[in-house]
Amino acid sequence: MPNACIADFKTLLANVLTGDRKACYEIRQSLKKLPPEELQEAKTLLENLLQEQPSHAFINFLMGAIYCIKSPHANNAKAINHLERAIELGEPFAMNTRGYMHQHGQGGSVNYGAAIELYERAMRYDNAYAIFNRGYMHHKGQGGPVNFESAIALYDRAIELGDPFAMYMRGYMHHQGGGGPVNFESAIALYERAIQYDNASAMCNRAYMHQHGQGGPVNYEAAIALYERAIRYDLGWAMTLRAEMYQQGLGGSKDLKKASELYQRSFHADINKRDEIIKKMAILAKNDINTGYFLAKLYYFGDQHIKANPKTALPWMKKPGVGTLVYNHIINNFCQFNEHVLDEHFIFLTKNNLINKKQAVYLQFKILTIKNNNEALDFYLRESTAIEPLFTKDDFFLMASATLDETAVYPDKDITIKCLDRASRLFYKAYLAGDTNSLPMLKECLARKESLSLNIKPQYPQPIANEHLFSNFQYNFKKKINKTLLIQLEAFLKTTQIEAKPNLLRFFCSKHPNKTITLAQDIIVFLKENKPLEEILQDSSIKNRMNDCPNLRTFIDDAMILNVTKLPNDYGLRNV
């Protein structure tokens, strides 16, 4: 919904206080559009006014209205208190809002009798909202039998008073033939009047008529414009219908990604139509991984309206790539799950073959980090080749810290030096992955290792490594990476020239195999000269050709950041 601003609210409030009844209708809608921080400002302003004028009927109504709005301030008890005070003071807007609460069971059970009584009291003041709401009760048979005649009479009366909801609903009756024959011409006239008041439901229905040629020729352009205008008001059904157009390529090319995004938004915005939206999403999910992932995640984890049911989620999770996306969600939101739940995820994902061996081993590692860091470190040391390519900066830092803790356990100098060496490498990998806190820890490890190597008595606090030590460490670290990459590239070249491994051939050389092989050979020449990889990649003879070899670019990028999740299992970067 396009936001109003607090300045508009203040202007309307000033007009209300001078007796402007039109402003009284507009200010409630203005309140609903305020962003949270400005709603708080409006609340504070009204509280101050109420202290000055505790018997002002409309200010009491507005305070009640604020507590009715879905926001951090929502409080039915406080809303009822202010609204009933305003009703005592004769405020028809308060009668309507309190009647609405009775009608919909807000702050208590549904009470149609009380709703009707309050609506009819407000109707004596020609309150258009109350007239519309009483007409709607006749229309839907709430508090009595369905009575189209009475509903129409009240809708028409509210329309005369300028109520856009009545315009929309009466247009809908003409559109669908409720209470009389279908009349597209009258429906269009009333929808377009309501649209002038920014009624999103009228926009959506008029768009539908354009889309399906009701009351005129098919006009996709006009339909799209109105759907998207209604979407700006967060109307869920407009999102659904626009998604269908993207899905079917109506009024433009097909766009399954946008269709999926809109279905997901409508699912959250239009709770009453969730079942229908899910059916539409199920069709799209056959050809769209994002929609399949949404449905898999919805049923696997559940939400406030749908209970988690892994068995229902399983068919979606078995769609290509979806199981991995669910796995990634678990990894990325790891801290939200307890140990027991993570064990259940591991069993379900592995039992149903939804993740590969490396992912399973990494998930085991992550679960161990919750249980016991020492066990996690032992597991890492056994499985580093498999899981380190999947490590985040936090994983590197955690294992580095756990390794550093071991230096307090083992008094042996040689073991301590080995631990400090391993911790240094892990802290540096965490640093390369973006963890700036790792750098001082790395320098401390280097300084401790140097002291032990030179038999210098430990100092407290620990000294920080000087720049010479750090530069030397960086050089040796990069040299090891270069050596590892050299081995990998030579194996890569050998693979690309063996037709017996067509899968790897396609993986690395799908677009420019000859260019890729030549470029890899040139990089190997530089590596054998012990040139740093960063310097090699900046060489003009290499840099200008790299864009033509995207698979080799990916291979080297992954090696540089120690993250090789895109490579085949045979070519994971070894632990350095």
pLDDT of 171 > 80? The answer is: yes
Q: Which residues contact 281 (CB under 8 A, 6 or more apart)?
A: 260, 263, 264, 267, 291, 294, 295
Most confident of 19-33, 199-213, 344-358, 485-499: 199-213
Q: Using alpha carbons, list the distances in angstroms from residue 114 to 94, 95, 130, 134.
A: 14, 10, 13, 12
The first and second tokens of residue 97, run together, are: 């809002």
**Cα distances (angstroms) measured from residue 78 to each of 42, 83, 104, 139, 375:** 16, 9, 17, 31, 54
390/296: higher pLDDT: 296
Q: Which residues contact 533 (CB under 8 A, 6 or more apart)?
A: 478, 481, 482, 485, 527, 556, 560
What are the angstrom distances between the C-alpha of 159 and each of 20, 139, 172, 203?
19, 16, 13, 17
pLDDT at site 482: 55
Pull the structure tokens for residue 543: 């840099």
Q: Which of 78-82, 84-88, 192-196, 498-502 has the lowest mean pLDDT?
A: 498-502
**pLDDT band per the 50, 70, 90 thresholds, residue 481:** low
User: What does the pLDDT read at residue 464?
Assistant: 53
Highest mean pLDDT of the ranges 246-250, 404-408, 425-429: 246-250
pLDDT value of residue 466: 62
The per-residue pLDDT for range 157-166, each reduced to its tens digit, is 999 999 999 9
Confidence of residue 102 (pLDDT cuts 50, 70, 90): very high
Which residues make Cβ contacts (< 8 Å) with residue 542, sequence separation at least 6? 519, 522, 523, 526, 536
Gap between the Cα atoms of 33 and 232, Å rounded = 12
Residue 10's pLDDT is what? 92
Mean pLDDT of the chain: 85
pLDDT for the residue 525? 73
pLDDT at 57 over 90: yes
Using DSSP's 3-state secondary structure scheme, residue 463 falls into coil
pLDDT digits (tens, 9 = 90+) for 17-40: 998 888 888 898 888 888 888 999
Angle between the N-to-C axes of helices 502-509 and 550-560, in degrees from 0 to 180, rounded to the nearest 10: 90
The mean-pLDDT minimum among 62-71, 234-243, 516-525 falls in 516-525
Kindly report, residue by residue over 325-339, the tens digit of the pLDDT. Answer: 999 999 999 888 888
DSSP letter string, 146-164? --HHHHHHHHHHHHHTT-H
Among 177-181, 418-422, 549-553, name the one with the lowest average pLDDT: 549-553
- Which of the residue ranges 150-154, 228-232, 354-358 would you say has the lowest mean pLDDT? 354-358
Indicate the pLDDT class of residue 509, thresholds 50, 70 and 90: very low
What is the average pLDDT across 110-129?
97
pLDDT score of 507:
43
Q: Say what the pLDDT of residue 500 is.
A: 32
The CA-CA-CA angle for residues 335, 341, 343, to 5°, reads: 105
Count Cβ neighbours within 10 Å for each residue of 365-375 and write b for 16 or more, e otherwise. bbbbbeeeeee
Query: Cα(419)–Cα(402) distance, rounded to whole angstroms?
Result: 10
The proportion of the chain whose per-residue pLDDT surpasses 90, expressed as a percent, equals 58
pLDDT score recorded for residue 573:
28
pLDDT at res. 519: 76
In the Cβ-directed half-sphere of 392, how many Cα atoms lie within 13 Å?
10
Q: Which residue has the tokens 């559009």?
A: 33
Length of the chain: 576
pLDDT at position 514: 59
Confidence of residue 508 (pLDDT cuts 50, 70, 90): very low
Q: What is the pLDDT of residue 283?
A: 95
What is the distance, to the nearest Å, from the Cα of residue 207 to the centroid of all Cα atoms in its chain? Answer: 28
Q: For the full predicted model, state whether its pTM sits above 0.85.
A: no
Q: Which residues contact 134 (CB under 8 A, 6 or more apart)?
A: 116, 119, 120, 123, 154
What integer pLDDT is reported at residue 489 of this predicted model?
60
Q: Is the predicted pLDDT of residue 495 greater than 70, yes or no?
A: no
Q: What would the pLDDT profile of 234-276 be if each residue is shown by its tens digit?
A: 999 999 999 999 999 999 999 999 999 999 999 999 888 999 9
Mean pLDDT, residues 538-566 taken together = 63
Q: What is the pLDDT of residue 371?
A: 86
What was the pLDDT predicted at 556? 67
Do the beta carbons of residue 72 and residue 37 sit within 8 Å?
no
pLDDT at residue 528, rounded to an integer: 67
**End-to-end distance of the chain based on CA atoms, in angstroms?**
53
- Whether 562 shows a pLDDT value over 50: the answer reads no
pLDDT digits (tens, 9 = 90+) for 282-302: 999 999 999 999 999 999 999
Helix, coil or strand: residue 90: coil
* pLDDT score of 180: 94
Q: Which amino acid is at 191?
A: Y
Read off the tokens for 570: 């045979």
